[in-house]
Structure 1
């Protein structure tokens, strides 16, 4: 689970846009880039190469 405070300061590394937390799948979503960033052991993996397209 990502805290609200952390979510407010995180940005998509590709477009610098806002992220949305997908609690069901435990991923951070950038709607602009259509990428999902994984969260492993409560740590967001903010690497473009690790992101999934959706």
Structure 2
């Protein structure tokens, strides 16, 4: 799955307005600030908070 680098530089999390990071293996755009992963369906990022999944991996601190 590939997203145009030009587009990726401009995409931001709709919740926090911070940059997103592409996780090609999972087919998602990750917002570390929001703790959410937005799906990419048929090559189209779905940037709806309702469609995002929460990130796991709490440090337990």
- Quickly name the TM-score band, shorter chain normalised: over 0.9
Alignment map for 1:10-49 (pairs within 5 Å): 10-49=11-50
What SS does structure 2 have at the residue aligned with 1:29?
A: strand
Compute the TM-score of the two structures, normalised by the length of structure 1.
0.96
Unaligned segments of structure 2, at least 5 residues: 56-61
Compute the TM-score of the two structures, normalised by the length of structure 2.
0.86
| Paired residue total | 54
In terms of Rg, which structure is larger?
A: 2
Instruction: Report the RMSD for the aligned CA atoms in angstroms.
Output: 0.5
What SS does structure 2 have at the residue aligned with 1:6?
A: helix
Structure-2 separation of matches of 1:38 and 1:15: 17
Query: Could you list the runs of 4 or more consecutive aligned residues of structure 1 that deviate by over 2 angstroms after TM superposition?
Result: none
Q: Output one character per residue of 1:9-49: Cα deviation in whole Å (capped at 9) or x when no partner.
A: 10000000010000101100000011000000000000000
